[in-house]
Amino acid sequence: MDQLEIAKLLDTHRTQIVDQTVGLAVQNPFWGERFGPGFAERLALDADLNLAILAKAIRYCSPMIFDDHVLWRRSQILGFGCSTGHLREIFGYKWAAINQLMPAESLPTIYDYIQSGLATVLPKSPTLQQIAEAQDALAEAVVAATFDESWHWQAAYAEHGRERVVRDAWFLFDFAIDSLSLKPELLGRHVCGLRDQLAARGLSSIHIQQLLWLAVQAAEQLLDPTPASELRRVLEGAAGYLSHDSEVCNALMAAQEQIVSEVAQELSYAGLAPQPEHAALEVGWYLAYLNDSLAAKDPSGLVNYARWMQHYFASQGLPDTPLRQSFTALSSSLERHLPQYAAQDARSIITAAQRAL
């Protein structure tokens, strides 16, 4: 089958290929979450153009036509908060549809043109190539240290399962590669979006900061020194995007160490914590959620975490006394260590959490 025939058949089956591509993509919740209810229509238009350019490249025996289009499409989706991996994923759906609808003898030629286009967006440097080759292992290492070890993460992903956690971790490293090769701010913007997404599931900014720290640890364990150092640099830079630009939050962070120590000691003396270190860890989480709630001017973050903790105590057959006493002690400590305006805002959020119990 010559290339002109293949191009004509691609045009003939284009509508069917687009429909199947969209059908495969909408099964992945990421796309609907990112683009909303209009995603299917938007993807159909984009997929149709992609296939038209692919057919044109094959017709004129010019891989460069499609290569340039893929580079342009990658630049476009990066602006929409996606990564290079998302582009490759969509082309994977197209290839699956083409396999079903096009004659077998046409497939090698089509495959070569698609692969030529996707090769233009693959990492070029040996350092980035090593990170990309280790991407699956890096994601698994992060998931083992978060979802597999922490009930916080398990509760947040309860409706989605471990597979979704692995996917999110994989794309964390994908955005890191894009940041290292294209625009440094890409990962920072992504982690802010991830923070907002996971906040709706019950996690805090500190969870995302820990995620980045664990990603650095995974890189240092699994990569050679140079790629590990590059990943550390971009991951630590992304952590800076998570800071809240709020005077009240700054006041809380400045007094955090004193507040945690004071409240942890009070809980320990009252026999409500097995040891001060354990109490300090839990008080730190309360402050993390309080900090996010102050930044959002919305108590729901701390309220939801309080309900989580209440459920946790109940699941262990324990009363929620430590939770209630923690909030009482926190309110008193905040009054002592924060400026009046900050203490007032913090107290109103803690009061909302107490009322929810």
CATH code of 225's domain = 1.10.490
With beta carbons less than 8 A apart as the criterion, state whether 245 and 291 touch: no
Q: Are residues 82 and 133 in the same domain?
A: no
Query: How many structural domains does the chain have?
Result: 3
* pLDDT attached to residue 143: 98
Given 73, 90, 119, the domain boundary residue is: 119
27 CB burial (10 A radius; 0-12, 13-18, 19+): exposed
200 CB burial (10 A radius; 0-12, 13-18, 19+): exposed
* pLDDT attached to residue 12: 95
Q: Are residues 184 and 111 in the same domain?
A: no
Q: Are residues 16 and 104 in the same domain?
A: yes
* pLDDT attached to residue 268: 81
| Domain residue limits at 312 | 247-356
**CA separation for the pair 34, 178 (Å, rounded):** 18
CATH code of 316's domain = 1.10.490.20
Q: Are residues 163 and 220 in the same domain?
A: yes
Q: Are residues 204 and 256 in the same domain?
A: no
**CA separation for the pair 202, 199 (Å, rounded):** 5
Q: Are residues 219 and 276 in the same domain?
A: no
Q: Count other Cβ atoms within 10 Å, centred on residue 238.
A: 27
Give the phi and the psi of residue 102 in degrees, each rounded to 5.
Answer: -100, 150
Given 242, 261, 289, the domain boundary residue is: 242
Q: Are residues 115 and 142 in the same domain?
A: no
Q: Are residues 151 and 224 in the same domain?
A: yes
Q: Are residues 95 and 196 in the same domain?
A: no
Structure token digits, residue 96: 């699956």
Q: Are residues 107 and 179 in the same domain?
A: no
pLDDT along the chain (357 residues), means of 10: 93 96 92 87 94 96 97 95 96 96 96 97 95 98 97 93 96 98 94 94 95 97 97 96 92 93 85 76 93 94 93 89 91 93 93 93
**CA separation for the pair 213, 219 (Å, rounded):** 10
**CA separation for the pair 138, 170 (Å, rounded):** 8
pTM metric for this prediction: 0.92
Cα dihedral: 322, 328, 330, 332 (round 10): -150
**CA separation for the pair 117, 347 (Å, rounded):** 56
Given 207, 242, 277, the domain boundary residue is: 242
* pLDDT attached to residue 265: 87
Identify the H or E element spanning 232.
Answer: helix 225-239
Q: Are residues 58 and 108 in the same domain?
A: yes
Structure token digits, residue 32: 């609907």
Give the phi and the psi of residue 201 in degrees, each rounded to 5.
Answer: -100, 0
**CA separation for the pair 171, 242 (Å, rounded):** 18
Of 46, 51, 69, residue with least CA distance to 13: 51
Contacts of 287-290 with C-beta under 8 Å, sequence gap 24+, read: 287/252, 287/256, 287/259, 287/260, 287/330, 288/204, 288/205, 288/206, 288/207, 289/204, 290/252, 290/330, 290/346, 290/349, 290/350
Q: Are residues 201 and 160 in the same domain?
A: yes
